Structure 1
Amino acid sequence: MVNPILWLVLTVIDIYFWIILATVIMSWLVAFGIINGSNPYVRQIGYALKRLTEPLLGPIRRFLPDLGGLDISPIVLLLGLQFLKYLIVYYSMGM
């Protein structure tokens, strides 16, 4: 039987993982001109995704070196979330 609080924490981590992935994909689509960034709906979705991800991506960007136009902070955050998830599962199984 899975602890309900543990299940909730792991589900929140999974949802946040997909939100970060959606942010990255949407930024690529806007950058390559596949979707119009001036469309009000696209702008609202982009704004919401940025507000959800920026609290964790901002501090990571401050510690990473400047790589020109390449932002690897989402990759670092996704790896960190996966590490946290596996750490939680590992220590919850030991109890």
Structure 2
Amino acid sequence: MQSLYQILMLILQIAWVLMIAHIVMSWLISFQVLNLRQPLVSQIWYGLNRLLEPIYAPIRRFLPHTPGLDLAPLVAFIALIAIRIVLTNNAGFFYGY
């Protein structure tokens, strides 16, 4: 069971890093620090969008429409942190204590 806990935490850590990169990159694109016409920037941006859109799309269906402000990444990020907290607090269950 310890292996399952570690695998879940690794997956959540990877998702956390991807979400942070996506959020920061969206700010940099919005403030025109990064330009999507640059091939590397656009490849990274569209790759992150393809990875994270399956997570964000169901959340967007339940959130109110806010033009110019996408709250789905924030909700997903908070949910990810909550899942990590629950897993960490219940780690004894995974370790068999």
Q: TM-score, normalised to structure 2's length? A: 0.88
In structure 2, what residue type is equivalent to 1:58? Answer: A
Q: Distance in 2 between matches of 1:47 and 1:13?
A: 21
Q: Distance in 2 between matches of 1:85 and 1:69?
A: 29
Query: Could you list the runs of 4 or more consecutive aligned residues of structure 1 that deviate by over 4 angstroms after TM superposition?
Result: none
Number of aligned residue pairs:
94
Alignment RMSD, CA only? 1.5
1:91 CA displacement: 2.4
Q: Which has the higher contact order (CA 8 A, sep 6+)?
A: 2
Q: Which residue of 1 aligns with 2:59?
A: 60
Q: Which residue of 2 aligns with 1:19?
A: 18
**Structure 2 unaligned blocks of 5 or more:** none
% same residue = 33
1:8 CA displacement: 1.2
Q: Which residue of 1 aligns with 2:85?
A: 86
Q: TM-score, normalised to structure 1's length? A: 0.90
CA-to-partner distance for each residue in 1:21-59, whole Å, 9 max, x for gaps? Answer: 111111111111111111111110001100111000111
